């Protein structure tokens, strides 16, 4: 009996197991691109064998991050759902002895092999790696660090760990793939998640060479096994920029992780909205860049981690999974999902539409192909104003008469069922329950079921917004949607956020409500370290006026000033307000808030208190001081708003010489700028 079969026999003494099917394939005469063509889609066995809690050692560590002990039934569920590959992240540092041998605990090695065989029993590909061993001063025993100072020690341990893993698995066939490291990085450094420094990338290349050479030296099937290698953090741009292929080995596969955009996928709170045409194009281009850099030249790529966390935004996640999966299919890259909706404790799929988004693209003729559903007049980016009716159509076509019923859900609550054709909802939403919805985000799901109990599902999102009433000081980051900009913390008085990283052609959009027709004054609080630019204001899609951001008035990204005002006539009712940003190259300016008020017409002497009452000195060429604290605004005598603020001392040095009006509460004061 060979060593592998002896090991399997030993494992079967402690749990019922079958002979692992794909463990016996040997090394086939196929290329890396042929292997990766068979691997998608895949799933990670996340937060399980990679879990580490410091105090828990041995087999107890498997459950220390909250997941139950892995069983053969769980892996069968994952395979039966449609996943073809199981990536098994494994942490080793808390299961090995000290140097110079770094002996891995055989009980732990046995458990890793046992779980791998659960996947082989289901004819799956298996990826084994070194996962959370990255050196962290706060985690005793961690050791892997891509720095020159720790390089020699890390390579020594890396070689000895991989020699042990490779020798244990050397007889397994090519359905087993080794991954040298997970996301190697210098923990705690500024470059940790940005692709690393030149030093870090150079050391990671040496790590990959050492690990590959160690694996190959064990012989057997390892001499020709497929091996995945990452660059710093497993970032795609790091790999494109500076990944060296050890020995120009044809069996090497590039390992990349993609959680972009991070603000949507994992950042807390970040954003729970995704799916604008620009966001879709950015993701598609990102994944295509891996094809251009590697696959077009014959080098295979696996995206070993991706996914979007639950932020009460199911429809946006479904859209993201559809786009991500299709981009991977288009570019010949198997996506190995980290965040999927399988609850291992109950063995249930909590949000199966997420997986449906993937599998329906891999198996379009077999999965969810009948019946056909179509939403009309509502899409993922659809926005509605709170309290108004939502107009949309949903049509479930049934050419063969096989549909038994179609259900319509809002936020997982069944609101309507149709049991006969035509399966059509339309009009203003009265029948569907979509009228007069309050502020919030909604997931609309339609499920059509045929007489074989097969269900086809479509999901879209609806965001219902309460318009901002005029007059208002509208916080810039409270947009309903945007393209290209990001929110960031501000150092301005009172804290909060501003929108930044504004470049030419970016935009942000808002809903406003005007209670009566008339003229409105617009000003913006802005800051820039460059030349500034312009804010073109569009009302309901039509360009109205332009605010100028003068770079000479500000000397930094948090050095704020208020623009000169513009006036726009606005009719009564709800309006869409779009801010289009334009200027030169690079970042233009930051935007803190937009002030929208009804102008005060002050043009008679009776409108003013005594000229020297309430503020001093008057006249002034530099500053004026208020005798009473409180919010104030400065206008031209004709009523054009110039500056708005709360500071007790007001800098007026940038104003032209002339007469101005300061309004504070119900009082108005005339002052002279000389």
Assess whether the previous peptide bond of 359 is cis (omega < 30° from 0).
Answer: no
Q: Quote the pLDDT of residue 16.
A: 36
Question: Domain spans of the chain?
Answer: 3-257+343-362, 373-465, 467-599, 600-674
Which residue stretches of the chain have pLDDT < 50?
A: 1-19, 603-607, 609, 611-612
Q: How many Å apart are CA 141 and CA 330, to the nearest integer?
A: 42
Alpha-carbon Rg for the chain in angstroms? 31
Helices (H), 430-488: none
CATH architecture of the domain covering 467-599: Sandwich (2.60)
**Would residue 572 show up in a list of annotated catalytic residues for this protein?**
no
Q: Strand order of the sheet with strand 641-645?
A: 641-645, 632-635, 658-664, 667-673
Catalytic residue, candidates 159, 191, 279, 305:
305
Are the C-beta atoms of 157 and 102 separated by less than 8 Å? yes
CATH of domain 3-257+343-362: 3.20.20.80
Are the C-beta atoms of 463 and 383 separated by less than 8 Å? yes
**Would residue 305 show up in a list of annotated catalytic residues for this protein?**
yes
Same fold, 373-465 and 600-674: yes
Residue entry with tokens 């086809």: 456
Task: Mention every residue, 6+ apart, whose C-beta is less than 8 A from residue 141.
Answer: 93, 94
Are the C-beta atoms of 360 and 392 separated by less than 8 Å? no
Helical pair 106-120 and 151-169, crossing angle rounded to 10 deg: 60
Residue entry with tokens 């000033």: 561
Q: Quote the pLDDT of residue 5.
A: 33
Q: How many Å apart are CA 62 and CA 52, to the nearest integer?
A: 8
Q: Quote the pLDDT of residue 611.
A: 47
Q: Helix or strand or coil: residue 342?
A: strand
pTM here is: 0.73
CATH of domain 600-674: 2.60.40
Q: How is residue 104 annotated by DSSP?
A: B
Catalytic residue, candidates 183, 322, 355, 477:
183
Residue 478's CB is within 10 A of a number of other CB atoms, namely 16
Q: Quote the pLDDT of residue 449.
A: 87
538, two tokens: 């569009």
Q: Quote the pLDDT of residue 638.
A: 61
Q: Quote the pLDDT of residue 391.
A: 66
291, two tokens: 């094809």
Residue 178 β-bridge partners: 128, 227
Are the C-beta atoms of 422 and 413 separated by less than 8 Å? no
259, two tokens: 């959680």
CATH of domain 373-465: 2.60.40.10
Q: Quote the pLDDT of residue 387.
A: 63
CA distances from 380 to 115, 316, 445, 448 (A): 40, 7, 12, 20
Q: How many Å apart are CA 46 and CA 48, to the nearest integer?
A: 5
Dihedral sign (CA 384, 387, 388, 389): positive
Q: Quote the pLDDT of residue 443.
A: 79
């Amino acid at each position: 009996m060979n060593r592998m079969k002896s090991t399997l026999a030993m494992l079967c003494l402690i749990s019922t197991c079958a002979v692992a099917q794909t463990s016996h394939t040997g090394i086939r005469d196929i290329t890396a691109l042929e292997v990766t063509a068979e691997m998608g889609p895949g799933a990670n066995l996340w937060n399980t064998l990679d879990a580490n809690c410091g105090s828990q050692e041995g087999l107890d560590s498997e459950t220390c991050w909250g997941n139950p002990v892995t069983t053969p039934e769980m892996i069968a569920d994952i395979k039966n759902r449609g996943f073809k590959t199981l990536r098994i992240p494994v942490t080793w540092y808390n299961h090995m002895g000290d140097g110079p041998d770094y002996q891995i605990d055989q009980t732990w090695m046995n458990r890793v092999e046992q779980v791998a065989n659960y996947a082989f029993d289901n004819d799956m590909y298996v990826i084994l790696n070194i996962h959370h061993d990255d050196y962290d001063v706060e985690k005793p025993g961690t050791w892997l660090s891509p720095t020159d100072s720790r390089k020699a020690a890390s390579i020594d341990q890396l070689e000895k760990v991989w020699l042990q893993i490779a020798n244990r698995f050397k007889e397994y066939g090519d359905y087993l793939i080794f991954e040298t490291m997970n996301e190697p990085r210098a923990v705690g450094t500024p470059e940790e998640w940005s692709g690393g420094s030149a030093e870090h990338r150079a050391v990671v290349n040496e790590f990959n060479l050492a690990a590959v050479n160690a694996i190959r030296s064990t012989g057997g099937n390892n001499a020709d096994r497929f091996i995945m290698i990452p660059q710093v953090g497993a970032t795609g741009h790091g790999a494109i920029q500076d990944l060296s292929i050890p020995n120009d080995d044809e069996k090497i596969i590039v390992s990349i992780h993609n959680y972009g955009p991070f603000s949507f996928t994992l950042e807390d709170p970040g954003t729970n909205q995704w799916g604008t045409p620009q966001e879709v194009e950015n993701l598609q281009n990102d994944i295509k860049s891996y094809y251009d850099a590697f696959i077009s030249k014959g080098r295979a790529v696996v995206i070993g981690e991706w996914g979007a966390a639950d932020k009460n935004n199911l429809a946006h996640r479904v859209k993201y999974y559809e786009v991500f999966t299709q981009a991977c299919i288009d570019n010949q890259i198997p996506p190995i999902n980290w965040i999927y909706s399988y609850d291992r404790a109950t063995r249930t799929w909590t949000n199966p539409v997420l997986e449906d988004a993937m599998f329906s693209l891999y198996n379009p003729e077999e999965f969810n192909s009948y019946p056909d559903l179509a939403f009309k007049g509502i899409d993922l980016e659809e926005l509605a104003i709170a309290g108004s009716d939502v107009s949309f159509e949903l049509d479930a076509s049934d050419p063969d008469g096989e549909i038994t019923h179609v259900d319509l859900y809002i936020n997982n609550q069944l609101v309507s069922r149709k049991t006969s054709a035509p399966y059509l909802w339309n009009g203003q939403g009265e029948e569907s329950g979509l009228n007069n919805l309050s502020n919030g985000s909604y997931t609309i799901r339609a499920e059509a079921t045929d007489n074989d109990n097969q269900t086809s599902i479509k999901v879209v999102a609806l965001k219902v917004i309460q318009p901002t009433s005029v007059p208002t000081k509208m916080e810039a980051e409270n947009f309903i949607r945007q393209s290209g900009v990001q929110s960031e913390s501000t150092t301005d008085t009172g804290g909060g956020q501003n929108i930044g990283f504004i470049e030419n052609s970016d935009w942000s959009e808002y809903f406003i409500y005007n209670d009566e027709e008339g003229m409105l004054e617009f000003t913006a609080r802005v800051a820039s370290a460059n030349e500034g630019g312009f804010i073109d204001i569009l009302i309901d899609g039509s360009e109205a006026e332009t605010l100028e951001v003068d770079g000479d008035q500000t000397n930094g990204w948090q050095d704020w000033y208020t623009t000169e005002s513009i006036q726009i006539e606005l009719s009564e009712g709800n309006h869409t307000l779009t801010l289009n940003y334009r200027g030169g190259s690079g970042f233009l300016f930051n935007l803190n808030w937009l002030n929208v008020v009804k102008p005060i017409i002050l043009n008679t002497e009776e409108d003013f208190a005594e000229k020297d009452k309430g503020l001093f000195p008057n006249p002034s060429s530099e500053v004026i001081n208020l005798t009473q604290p409180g919010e104030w605004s400065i206008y031209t005598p004709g009523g054009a708003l110039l500056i708005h603020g709360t500071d007790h001392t007001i800098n007026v040095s940038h104003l032209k010489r002339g007469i101005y009006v300061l309004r504070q509460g119900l009082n108005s004061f005339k002052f002279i700028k000389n």
